[in-house]
A = this chain, B = another copy of it.
Amino acid sequence: MKLEPQWVVGFVDGEGCFHVGIAAHREMTRGFQILLEFTVVQHKRDEQVLYALKDFFGCGVVRNNHGDRLAFRVRKFEHLKTIIVPFFVKHALKTKKNTDFKKFCRVLQLMEKGHHLTVVGIEEIRTIADQMNVKAMKVESLTLTEDDSGEDAGVYQVISE
């Protein structure tokens, strides 16, 4: 299945999510995990569309989500930075999801500059995450399984305050 850029934009306007997740680190008394994630979730009957997205972007993985749902997701910082973000900068989303995308980009820029390693930076990221439609992800979403080994773990830093 070959996808056209505008189909991808339309589909992501409907079904895509840009997540910024912040969670307390499980093994530290003080510290945070940050997760950047681009996902598209579908019922398993449309698995082929998720694999078509994976082929289209040339990155990411298709994994089980909840129940009979699957997710195409990209967590790897380099892929988000060099593939996903440039695509949606060039082909702008038309729904208000574009606002979330811009916030996602802002967090990515902050992390690239190392601001997530500072207390001030992490607070700014938290503020941005709180403003996004999809709030900070639940801690369990940050629990990485062996299944993720092929893809970037998506957790970039742990800071100790």
Contacts and interface: CB of A to CB of B under 8 A. Distances in A.
Bin the interface of chain A by size: 20 to 34
Contacts of A3: 94
A31 to B, nearest CB: 35
A100 to B, nearest CB: 11
A15 B40 CA distance: 13
Given A6-B4, A6-B6, A7-B7, A94 B13 contact: no
A151 interface: no
B1 A10 contact: no
B95 A52 contact: no
Nearest to A97: B46
Contact of A11 (B4, B14, B52): B14
A59 interface: no
Interface of A: 1, 3-15, 42-43, 45-46, 49, 52, 94-96
29 contacts: A3-B94, A4-B6, A5-B6, A6-B6, A6-B7, A7-B7, A7-B9, A7-B10, A7-B13, A7-B94, A8-B10, A9-B10, A10-B10, A10-B11, A10-B12, A10-B13, A10-B14, A11-B11, A11-B13, A11-B14, A13-B14, A13-B49, A14-B14, A42-B95, A46-B95, A46-B96, A49-B94, A49-B95, A52-B94
